[in-house]
Amino acid sequence: MTMQTLSPPAPDQPLISLQSRLPNVGTTIFTVMSALASEKGAVNLGQGFPDFDCDPALVDAVTSSMKEGFNQYPPMTGVPALREAIAAKIGALYGRRYDPASEITITAGATQALLTAILCTVHPGDEVLIIEPVYDSYVPSIELAGGKPVFVQMEVGAEGYSIPWAKVAAAVTPKTRLLMINSPHNPTGTVLKPSDMQALADIVRGTEILIVSDEVYEHMVYDGARHESVCRYPELAARSFVVSSFGKTYHVTGWKIGFVAAPAALSAEFRKVHQFNVFTVNTPVQHGMARHMANPAPYLDLPAFYQRKRDLFRDGLKATRFRLLPSEGTYFQCVDYSAISTLPEADFAKWLTAEIGVAAIPVSAFYNEPRESGIVRFCFAKKDETLQTALQRLASL
């Protein structure tokens, strides 16, 4: 009997026929602009992360936790001390008491928290209301759940961006399952006001619509304003997943650690998905973060810390032909460049990076459909010397 030898498939021959779950997703604009900034030696004010170190005391707290043996799996929901610290902070700042055991879950960053909240609530065919411009993970997460994103665009004028709540209300249908908000808002720097929260409450009252409230920039609100967390509003908190990020608050975006606060019934569903898409989160970082949170000064001082950087950057930009939009929160500054160029936003951002030596992000990248408004976004979460270098280069505009 002759043995038959099977030839391996050709290198370009797929073993299976693969239909993409995200056929419209490619390389993000953040990756493109960061690569171009590196190639051209530009100051990278595009991607939103600090270029300065975190508090050494936080590193020491995490290091001590490692040395003390906190290196095995923690509880799936998170280290109890950290959940207790979060519940205490929310109670002190926003007046709502969450049960650390059943209503606080530690996540592998805010993006995982957002995906998990969507996966645990959205079924195929459900509609999810999202307000554009919008952070780029929202739509793919909805699509992975089989949901349908429904878009309402913010309005932009001389006073900056605002949400047209009448249009949001008009977009609600019997299929609406979830409504996603983000304040302080990336990329526009807009901060929701009490009137916005009342409008939101009016829309969802008497419905079964749930809310995902993306509050990762909660401690970056300026000019004496307060952060209007949904936690402040019992009617909203009762139907909301509240998402926040230690990476943003403590300048450690690469650590990928965040949390979700939600009523017990919603948290129970969230945890069902959480345990299978990440299970649990870095143990020594959780213990170190719990110790560091004993001192509230780092997050209480954050508004003043970033407002000074915002003002430094805005003052420098006043010497250019950019029109500055309000930056009420986050660490982003949007500018209208229509007095400088008629290029589309993506082309202008690439020109600015290659020819002027400063990278920015086109706001058009935050829309599902192409939408040009002549606005780009800068990140001012940088060392003063980084901002000064960028301003010197932008002074020619």
The tens digit of pLDDT for each residue in 185-202 reads 999 999 999 999 999 999
Cross-strand bridge partners of residue 261: 104, 242
pLDDT interval class at 4 (50, 70, 90): very low
pLDDT interval class at 115 (50, 70, 90): very high
Measure the CA–CA gap between 199 and 164, rounded to whole angstroms: 10
Pick the CATH number of 29-49+301-394 from 3.20.130.10, 3.40.1190.20, 3.40.50.720, 3.90.1150.10: 3.90.1150.10
Of the CA atoms within 13 Å of residue 313, those in its CB half-sphere come to 27
> Which among 315, 363, 314 is positioned nearest to 338, based on CA atoms?
363
Q: What are 317-360's pLDDT values in tens digits?
A: 999 999 999 999 999 999 999 999 999 999 999 999 999 999 99
Q: Is the confidence at residue 265, as pLDDT, over 80?
A: yes
Say which CATH architecture domain 56-298 belongs to: 3-Layer(aba) Sandwich (3.40)
Looking at this protein, which amino acid is placed at residue 355? Answer: E
Measure the CA–CA gap between 153 and 130, rounded to whole angstroms: 9
pTM above 0.85, yes or no: yes
> Which among 145, 148, 153 is positioned nearest to 175, based on CA atoms?
148
Q: What are 56-112's pLDDT values in tens digits?
A: 999 999 999 999 999 999 999 999 999 999 999 999 999 999 999 999 999 999 999
Domain residue extents for the chain: 29-49+301-394, 56-298
pLDDT interval class at 3 (50, 70, 90): very low
